[in-house]
Amino acid sequence: MFCPSRDKESTEMLLEYCAGSLDAETAARLQAHMLECSACRELMESQQAVWDALGEWDAAEVSPDFDRKLFAGIEQYERSPWWRYLLHPLTPFSLKPALPLLAACLVLIAALMIRTPAVIDTPPQMRGDKVDIEQVERTLDDLDMLTQFSAVVLPKTSSTGSM
């Protein structure tokens, strides 16, 4: 037989045994198992102690005007102004669950503001600022010189393949 104390799904079998709601055949097998298994025996003894304590417990007497006080409290709660519902922690409109969400959003916004780079400085030609005409003229002269140099140094080869 498998051990109910080690199997989470069959732990209820021990609880049913303590409650006396287990069929006779299964109860006899479980009782034989508990003679060999100390873990199941300890679990059954502790559960039996709980059942015994619950059997000895006496509930406090309910006062005769309990219902009247209860319904008066409910009526007073329902007559309270609407804004009191927002402040009461047990109402469905409580703001307490929204506080962690608000804190997470603030942390996310702060992280984005810290990690976002500043505006990238673009060259003046891209910004539309004044362009230095002399610099453009020098650049065009340099390009013209390079094209002439490549034409002199690297002459065009004929496509006939003669060398």
pLDDT interval class at 126 (50, 70, 90): low
| Encoded tokens for 34 | 């508990």
Q: What would the pLDDT profile of 33-76 be if each residue is shown by its tens digit? A: 888 888 888 888 888 888 888 888 888 888 899 999 999 999 98
Q: Residue holding tokens 């300890």?
A: 42
Q: Report the distance separating Cα 151 and Cα 144, nearest Å.
A: 11
Overall average pLDDT of the 109-120 stretch:
76
Confidence (pLDDT) at 163: 45
Type of residue found at 95: L
Contacting residues for 116 by C-beta, under 8 A, at least 6 apart: none
The full set of domain ranges for the chain reads 8-56, 65-117
The pTM score is 0.36
